Amino acid sequence: MGAIRYHIPRSECIERLAAESVGRLCFIDHGYPLAFPVNYRLVDPRRADRIVFRTSSTALLARYEGPSSLEVDQISPHSRAAWSVVVRGRLRHARGEPDLPVER
Total domain count for the chain?
A: 1
Q: What is the CATH number of the domain that holds 38?
A: 2.30.110.10
Q: Within a 10 A sphere around the Cβ of 70, how many other Cβ atoms?
A: 20
What is the value of pTM for the model shown? Answer: 0.80
Positive or negative, the CA dihedral 11, 26, 4, 19 is negative
Asked if residue 100 is part of any domain, the answer here is no
Asked if residue 62 is part of any domain, the answer here is yes
Asked if residue 38 is part of any domain, the answer here is yes
Asked if residue 98 is part of any domain, the answer here is no
Residue 15: pLDDT band with limits 50, 70, 90: very high
Residue 98 has pLDDT above 70, yes or no: no
Asked if residue 29 is part of any domain, the answer here is yes
* pLDDT of res. 80: 82
Asked if residue 1 is part of any domain, the answer here is no
- Per-residue pLDDT of 78-96, as tens digits, reads 888 889 999 999 988 877 6
Asked if residue 15 is part of any domain, the answer here is yes
Domain that holds residue 52: 10-91
* pLDDT of res. 53: 85
Asked if residue 103 is part of any domain, the answer here is no
Question: Which phi and psi angles does 18 have, rounded to 5°?
Answer: -65, -30
- Per-residue pLDDT of 26-80, as tens digits, reads 999 899 999 999 999 888 877 778 898 888 778 888 888 899 999 999 998 888 8
